[in-house]
Amino acid sequence: MLADELDYLIGVDTHRDEHVLSVVAAAAGAVVAQEAVRANARGYQAAVQFADRHANGARVWAIEGAGHYGAGLARHLSGRGETVLEIGRGQSAPERSRPGLKVVGPKRTVSVEVQAKRR
């Protein structure tokens, strides 16, 4: 299980001009810090510095749209030896309205696994 192998997961919600980062403590499944950075080289460096301050341990980056708006950040992180996972963009509005479907975004992934582990 992911929570057994990592100390932190950094979920990234990507946009054209900025990316929003959320650090999740794997053991607790709790968001411990959030920050928005610009979607450019300076912002990518700021993202690494943010992670170094708030996720100093075994970590993985879960980037929404690593092949689109998150591509530059994914390349930057991979080039620094960081572990980067691409995650889906989530469900569309019609999919969210179907009974029985649950939307789980990057910031919730570890907490869902931790809750399942406790049962």
pLDDT at 107: 38
State how far the Cα of 107 lies from the Cα of 103, in Å rounded to an integer. 11
pLDDT at 3: 66
Q: Are the C-beta atoms of 51 and 23 separated by less than 8 Å?
A: yes
pLDDT at 33: 97
pLDDT, tens digit (0-9, with 9 covering 90-100), for 67-102 = 889 999 999 999 999 999 988 765 444 444 333 323
pLDDT at 87: 85
Residue 108 has pLDDT above 90, yes or no: no
CA-closest candidate to residue 28, choices 114, 118, 117: 114
pLDDT at 23: 97
State how far the Cα of 74 lies from the Cα of 83, in Å rounded to an integer. 9
State how far the Cα of 83 lies from the Cα of 52, in Å rounded to an integer. 14
Which burial class, exposed, middle or buried, applies to 14 when counting CB atoms under 10 A from its CB (0-12, 13-18, 19+)? buried
Q: Are the C-beta atoms of 25 and 111 separated by less than 8 Å?
A: no
State how far the Cα of 88 lies from the Cα of 31, in Å rounded to an integer. 20
Note the pTM of the prediction, 2 decimals: 0.73
pLDDT at 1: 66
Sequence-distant (≥ 6) Cβ neighbours of residue 92 within 8 angstroms: none
pLDDT, tens digit (0-9, with 9 covering 90-100), for 16-75 = 999 999 999 998 889 999 999 999 999 999 999 999 999 999 999 999 987 889 999 999
**Domains defined along the chain, listed by start:** 2-118 (3.30.420.140)
